[in-house]
């Protein structure tokens, strides 16, 4: 969780890009929310428009939530090109979650 970058730097960049004050705050908040998103919200639970967000963060990295394990490795690191030579393990097997320079 890095509010200095996700919120304040995004706020600064959006403002410098010409967005208005309200839009700049919305963009910065949205960027920071990825780090703060640790509560599941259910909207219109009993209706056809039902929506449930998927949480993207746990507030204590030493006690990760099991249902989040599938996103931790991709949270800040993009895998890159999975067929890149450096993506293969030493035994020749391919690991799809390796981060590569390609």
Residue-wise pLDDT for 2-11, tens only, equals 788 889 999 9
Question: How confident is residue 33, by pLDDT bands cut at 50, 70 and 90?
Answer: confident
Tens-digit pLDDT profile for residues 47-90: 998 988 777 666 666 665 666 655 555 555 555 677 777 777 78
DSSP states along 42-86: EESTTSTT-EE------S-TTS--GGGHHHHTTSS-----TTSGG
Is pLDDT larger for residue 46 or for residue 34?
A: 46
Residue 20 pLDDT: 95
CA distances from 83 to 58, 71, 87, 94 (A): 31, 21, 6, 8
Lowest model confidence (mean pLDDT) among 22-31, 34-43, 66-75: 66-75
Specify the pLDDT at position 52: 83
């Amino acid at each position: 969780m890095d509010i200095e970058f996700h919120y304040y730097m995004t706020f600064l960049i959006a403002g410098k890009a010409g967005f208005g004050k309200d839009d700049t705050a919305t963009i910065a908040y949205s960027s920071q929310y990825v780090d703060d998103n640790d509560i599941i919200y259910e909207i219109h639970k009993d209706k056809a428009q039902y929506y449930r967000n998927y949480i993207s963060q746990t507030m204590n990295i030493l006690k990760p939530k099991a249902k989040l394990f599938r996103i931790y490795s991709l949270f800040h690191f993009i895998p890159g090109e999975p067929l890149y030579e450096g993506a293969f393990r030493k035994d020749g097997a391919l690991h799809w979650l390796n981060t590569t320079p390609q």
